[in-house]
Structure 1
């Protein structure tokens, strides 16, 4: 993949640049790169052509260009232009403007959305930009950009991008690639490198630390030493990221086929605890002997399903992450508050979820599935009478069963293993055999749990009085 890019581009990887400004881009003509209109989304081309015909500059930028150069199939087609969001909206009836922090235009074509951003400018030029464009830039006390709608030139936009490999612009007007930050050299060297001073860029947007890890694992690249050096020190800045945005980053890190690799890197750079503080604390204190193996297995299974084009739900991973901390809280409530198992479970569920929501805003639809998976762990044990058939008909039975298999494999508890095998057999046999299996369970339960003697009616009457 990288070798193909080297051959096509015919350029040698350069050493790290001492400067951080790239006013004169390296320009690659059509015969020097593999990017072709045939590889682009038809809808992305529509947007590019209409912007160009209306007198605006427009470029395919970032991941779409980068992935084609790497021989990958691009999934996103982002466009950068000198047209303002309002001007873009005036050209497309299917356009909606979103975002306060970054004002963006989304051009909607059915299920495909083409994201169009206006060239960003520098903050030190804000006064003039504000006067001309009526836009503002705002930073927090930690240096994080809260609002960033300062518009500028393509050169400024390139300097404002996060990594060198994303500062690549393809023009459908002249078929050239404009490389403002030596991104092609870093692509061939397999390097993830921030543009500008790393500490400043991380403070502007701490999520860039997560993006560095995600790109490194996704593209099989290394993070440049100067780019990775501040990460562990600046990790606490992630506490300032809204939980809703952390949920989006969780999806990108853990539901793209590289969950286990990203988990390892997050732990290495001390970033994982900002996603799951309860889990990180339990891991550090070694409270649960199976916790790390359980999480690792769940992540590897998720990667396998995604890479084989099978469906996954983030609820399963959330349930796996929080399973042992939940069990700990249930046991504490049963002992300290003298609660029944059911009351202890629901009380612990509320406490664990409330704590987790401070870090990741898990939507209610996934919380409901998590609860079903956990409740099914108890229901799968109770199989006598009609209970087994009712459990088997539960909408989330498969997720609960898969969770049981995972527990049995990791804990190697004989009872769990036997229970998992029973349910595996139950699913693959006929109805008559299923009924016989349930009857056998019923007889076993009857032998183990003799009926309690009923209290005399006279005693009940006395109690009622």
Structure 2
């Protein structure tokens, strides 16, 4: 017997009547790809997170296909196909706004597989060795992600015990955890993200190497970590992902400035971050827009604020202190997570507008109200309410000011106020109030004699 065949897993086949996956919950585009590949004589299966989520009763948005066809063979079958990637060669079949990712079965042995693999210090830099479906299952990360839906007979194939892990609600890695994390350190982040998303626990053996191997995340491309950040924090389970990153000891490798600020015991900062993430999760669930700029402004606020206050205390101009603090924190963060420039500009504006909320003068108030980033900066001010009573009352003042007609607000504000450099008494003194209506006598006549 071929020694390679002896080591391959034996599939556990779950027939249609014993699982909950229905073609009604699979996108038409994915079904087209599966049927076309099968009709052309190739094996093709729905695989990964879509199968996992369908078995859990969810409604996945992304559908991946694994097939015996090579990328070039896939491209010949689909005119609407483009090949991408050098590290992992993939085919993207495009139907309107939907992209079906098609991957050739990955092999475990370069000797008998077709293609090439490049490994440095245990890390897979390129992996384009083709193999069998059994080998492909062993190459996947978590057992719950290594199940295949067979469109030919509507069964589910489980090669590594994924069904049992779904029942146990646990994430277990396929193979030795330390080896798998060295191959791709992002798997550690994926473990935290999936545990948060699925409300699963991470198997102790899978979590054990985090402390030792967490530093490997510094070798991951910063652009890739930006994408991972969006998956963690902008898909409806950001609050749980943040908590899980902290629990796993991985937050400091992604957001060192955030971790430093939290370690100073700042309860108000934790409140700001957690409420910001909870609000973002709610917006995602409600189908409202969210922006990475606000997310990163929330996560990095503590370090920016503390640096700005420190430099201002040591004699720097307040405006310069805030600008330098923002630039310093962003430069450090971008070494870990590559934040695009368009988001950085918005982050800086949100931060630099915060001290301007304390300046209650007529011209400055109206100038701030007209600023294109006022709404985002005001929402950020409301998140800061736990910092102090003064900040909370400032938020209330600005919330009320926005509701007043222009003329009413202008009449209530001084052209200049001596305490307008951040003193809350200034806000109280200039606070707009609605005029009380005089109560009429019972006989309907005015009270004037």
Cα deviation for residue 22 of structure 1 reads 5.2
Q: Match of 1:310?
A: 288
Aligned with 2:348 (options 368, 371, 377): 371
1:259 matched to 2:234: no
Relative CO higher for 1 or 2, CA cutoff 8 Å, sep ≥ 6?
A: 1
- Contact 1:120 1:149 (C-alpha < 8 Å) held by counterparts: yes
Q: Match of 2:376?
A: 399
Q: Match of 1:172?
A: 151
Q: Match of 1:11?
A: none
Measure, in 1, the Cα distance between the counterparts of 2:321 and 2:395.
25
Measure, in 2, the Cα distance between the counterparts of 1:194 and 1:365.
37
Q: Match of 1:204?
A: 183
Structure 1: unaligned runs, 5 residues or longer: 1-19, 450-465
Cα deviation for residue 48 of structure 1 reads 0.9
Measure, in 2, the Cα distance between the counterparts of 1:90 and 1:241.
34
- Contact 1:22 1:180 (C-alpha < 8 Å) held by counterparts: no
Measure, in 2, the Cα distance between the counterparts of 1:257 and 1:88.
34
1:344 matched to 2:330: no
Measure, in 1, the Cα distance between the counterparts of 2:7 and 2:211.
26
Measure, in 2, the Cα distance between the counterparts of 1:311 and 1:332.
35
Measure, in 1, the Cα distance between the counterparts of 2:262 and 2:302.
10
State how 1:271-290 maps to structure 2 within 5 Å. 271-286=250-265, 288=266, 290=268
Look up the SS of the partner of 2:287 in the other structure.
coil
Measure, in 1, the Cα distance between the counterparts of 2:392 and 2:380.
12
- Contact 1:381 1:419 (C-alpha < 8 Å) held by counterparts: yes
Q: Match of 1:330?
A: 308
- Contact 1:85 1:104 (C-alpha < 8 Å) held by counterparts: yes
Structure 2: unaligned runs, 5 residues or longer: 1-5, 422-449
Cα deviation for residue 28 of structure 1 reads 1.8
Q: Match of 2:386?
A: 410
Look up the SS of the partner of 2:83 in the other structure.
strand
Q: TM-score, normalised by structure 2?
A: 0.88
Cα deviation for residue 282 of structure 1 reads 3.0
1:248 matched to 2:227: yes
1:420 matched to 2:395: yes
Aligned with 1:442 (options 409, 412, 415): 415
Measure, in 2, the Cα distance between the counterparts of 1:93 and 1:272.
43
Question: How many pairs are equivalent?
Answer: 416
Cα deviation for residue 285 of structure 1 reads 4.2
Q: Match of 1:127?
A: 111
Cα deviation for residue 261 of structure 1 reads 1.7
1:385 matched to 2:362: yes
1:318-375 CA deviation, whole Å, 9 max, x = no partner? 1122222112322344455x43222222222222211111111001111011011112
Measure, in 2, the Cα distance between the counterparts of 1:139 and 1:447.
64
Larger mean CA deviation between 360-369 and 168-177 belongs to: 168-177
Cα deviation for residue 59 of structure 1 reads 0.5
Aligned with 1:237 (options 173, 197, 216): 216
Measure, in 1, the Cα distance between the counterparts of 2:64 and 2:7.
23
1:253-300 CA deviation, whole Å, 9 max, x = no partner? 1112222222122112210011111221233344x4533232222222
- Contact 2:146 2:162 (C-alpha < 8 Å) held by counterparts: yes
- Contact 2:37 2:44 (C-alpha < 8 Å) held by counterparts: yes
- Contact 1:373 1:399 (C-alpha < 8 Å) held by counterparts: yes
Q: Match of 1:91?
A: 77
Look up the SS of the partner of 2:354 in the other structure.
helix
Q: TM-score, normalised by structure 1?
A: 0.85
Measure, in 1, the Cα distance between the counterparts of 2:350 and 2:220.
29
Query: Structure 2 vs 1, CA of residues 442 and 289 (structure 1 numbering), >3 Å: closer, same or farther?
Result: farther
Aligned with 1:429 (options 381, 404, 407): 404
Measure, in 2, the Cα distance between the counterparts of 1:397 and 1:108.
39
- Contact 2:237 2:281 (C-alpha < 8 Å) held by counterparts: yes
The 4+ residue runs of structure 1 with deviation greater than 6 A are none
1:153 matched to 2:132: yes
Measure, in 2, the Cα distance between the counterparts of 1:152 and 1:206.
24
Look up the SS of the partner of 1:60 in the other structure.
strand
